[in-house]
Each structure stands twice: as C-alpha cells, then as structure tokens.
Structure 1
Amino acid sequence: MATELHLERRDSTPWPPPARRRRRAVRLAASTFSSVLLLGAIGWAGLHLEPDPFPSAGVTSAPVSHLPIPGGLPEPVDRFYRTLYGNQIPVVETVVISGRGHPRIAGITFPARFRFSHVAGRSYATTSS
C-alpha cells in the first residue's frame, strides 16, 4: 500500500526570509570588497619590491686584443676613436650586460631586471623578469 505525503506551507512568506537574504547580500558585498582590497594591497606591495639581481654570469674576462684604427674614416669618427681609445681599438668578442630598472607601462612603474648576452657576429640572448 503506497502512501502519499503532501507537504504544504502554512503561510505565504518567501523563503529564505527577507532579513536572511539581506544578511547574505551584505556578507557577499563585504567579502567582495575585502577581496578586491586585499588583491589591490598585494599588487601595490609587489610593485614596490626591488627584484634581486641576476646571479653572476660566471664568465671570466679574457685578455683584450686590439686592432689599429682603420684609415679613411670621416674626421669626426677618427677624432672620436683616437680620443676614446688612442691608436688601438679593443676587439669585443663577447659581452654580458646585467642590470635593474623601472619600466613604465600605461603610467604604472614596474620593477625589472635584465641580462643581455652577446657573442659578436654569432648570437645574442636576453633574459628579463
């Protein structure tokens, strides 16, 4: 024998009650506001921390070889080379440049670091973060 069970509400009040819905909405708004505020604080703090420099490249300096200044250069270029280097120009085979900076994108200044490695005439690589 099957029995049927009918449950009826005795009053017509909405469920959940309005006070409970209001508390839930206030709690949701407060948690959303707190989350946005927390993420903003973390972002602000992250933009004000200086990155550590890259570790040493581990490259040792080799003896520098020199070449004489070639003839036939324009007068200002010849004068510049002779003022800066004398009669011999150093031959650059490899260079590693590392540094830190503050690039600005859309008005926001970001902390950054970079490393540029160059093997003359063959390859180059950049690393940044």
Structure 2
Amino acid sequence: MNGIYIMIIAIISIAVILLDIGWLGFQIEPESFAPHPEKTKDIGSVELPPDLPEPVRRYYEAAAGSPVPRIDSAVVWGKAKLRINGIWMPVRFKAYYLPGQAFLRYMEVTWFGRTILKVSDSYINGEGVLKIEGLLNMKETGEKIDQGQNLAMWGEAVFTPSVVITDSRVHWEAVDNETMRLVVPFGEQNDELLFTFDQKTNLITHVSAWRFRGQEEEKMPWLIEFTEWKTFHSVKIPARFEVTWEDEGSPWSYWTVEGVEYNIDITDNLPVSLSIEQKEIKKSEVKNQS
C-alpha cells in the first residue's frame, strides 16, 4: 500500500509542477510587434460642426483641437491580457481601421513568449468574424457576430475621432449632461452606444452598449472603460482601457496601446468593398475638401 501512496503523491506532485509551469508561461509578456513601417501622413483637417452637443464639442477640443486632424485609416498596436476560459493570457495585437467602414484586429496569445494561438476579430463588408487558430481552431460568424463587431468598430472610433464628424450616417442624441447617445448604422438599420464624458478633463470615461456575446440568445450590457489617455500625432486617444461584460462583474480584458500610425495604406489588410452609400459619402468628403 505504501508503494501506491507514494505513486499517488508523485503523480499529484508532477501535476502540480506542470500546472505551475503552465501558469508561469502565461506570466511572461510577449515581445511587442515592430512599429508599423509606414509613417503618419497629414491629409488636412475637418471643422467642428456648429450644432455639436456641448459635451462632444469639449471632448474634441480636448482630444484633437479645432479643426480636427482628418484620419482616413489607422493602425494601432500594443499588448493586452485576455481571460480565456478562466485563464489570464498575454497577448500582443495589431489593429487596422478604415473608420466607419471596417476593422481587423490580429492577436497572438503567447506562452513563455511563444505564440500558441492566433486570434482575430473583424468587421469587413458588413460581416463580423471571430477566429481562433493554433492549439484550438474555431470560427464564428452570423448576424449576432455582425451586430457585436459593428458596435466594437464604433466603440473604438475614439482612435479615429474625425470619423464621427465626417460620416453623415451617425448622429448624437443627448441623454444628460455627462452622457451622449451615438446612433450608428448597422446594415439597413441603426444601433447605438452611450458615451460618458468626464466633466473635468472633457475626455470620454467609458462607452457602453447592448451587444451579443458570441451566439448567445440575448444581448448583454458591454462596457469599454478608458483609464489612461496619451497623445499620438497630435491626437489624444486611450492608451489603456479595459472591457467588461456586466454579468461577469469585472473586466475580461486589459489593453495597452504602444503605437499608432494614421493615413497609411492598409488595403492589403482590409479588402473592403464600399457600399453605394459609403461611396457617396466619400465623394462628398472629397468635394468638401477641394
């Protein structure tokens, strides 16, 4: 019997050691992605509309000045921590934006600094996609993913603030002195997000919305909280933020932005086909610039 007990203790000890090693691997941060090779271009600016609600006007003046630098594309990169199946995992990410049209975020989950999962979430040509490749493989699409990814794109418009001025499909509605509703397009319909503003800094404290989580039946309250802002290329954007599903009670991800470049060519990363309405908007923007 003593031999059996010794064997059981040895197996348990080995299991504990393996768990400790596994946990330790997720405590090591990955190397950052290299800075984007193409540098920011100045393509002019846009005037603040005279009818902007006062909290929104103050935000633009605090974050970007007046007039606002025009941003037609962006790449944002940095690091994050994501809670996946209850385990916190280190991530490095690089995200590409065509403001108001599409985005693609590419992420690498690492263990001891080595990539074990490649993850992407995107909204391109009106279709949302969540994809994981590596030690496990999965892909989610469908109307619920479309809705969630469209809201994610507009929630991250804080990285490309001029889009909410130049895109005629969106508009603001007042909720109270600190909160504004942003109505955004979603296919043939509209959706909405709530933006809350800090009355001292005039910056945005958080964005919230009701969105689908994966393929769940009901929408859930979803929150992005901006905890630190930093200036990149004359535009102040969130440098740290965290994302929470309300029913979980605490953030499931923490993000740190390390670099940004604006108005660069990202057609290889975002193969977007503009809708007729978006083409007309682009024509109008070009005409107004000239």
Does the pair score TM above 0.5?
yes
Match of 1:52 among 31, 46, 49: 31
Aligned residues: 108
Larger strand share, 1 or 2: 2
Q: CA deviation at 1:53?
A: 0.9
1:10 aligned residue:
none
- % identical equivalent positions: 27
Q: CA deviation at 1:102?
A: 2.9
Structure 1: runs of 5+ lacking an equivalent: 1-20
Q: CA deviation at 1:61?
A: 1.1
Bigger radius of gyration, 1 or 2?
1
Matches within 5 A, 1:11-26: 25=4
**Alignment partners' CA distance in 1, 2:63 and 2:16:** 55
1:69 aligned residue:
48
Question: Does residue 19 of structure 2 align to residue 40 of structure 1?
Answer: yes
Report the TM-score when normalising by structure 2.
Answer: 0.32
Query: What's the RMSD between the two structures over aligned residues?
Result: 2.9
Distance 1:27 1:120, change over 3 A: same
Q: CA deviation at 1:43?
A: 0.6
**Alignment partners' CA distance in 2, 1:84 and 1:41:** 44
1:88 aligned residue:
67
Larger helix share, 1 or 2: 1
Q: CA deviation at 1:127?
A: 1.3
Report the TM-score when normalising by structure 1.
Answer: 0.62
Structure 2: runs of 5+ lacking an equivalent: 110-290
Q: CA deviation at 1:125?
A: 0.7
Distance 1:97 1:85, change over 3 A: closer
**Alignment partners' CA distance in 1, 2:28 and 2:59:** 41
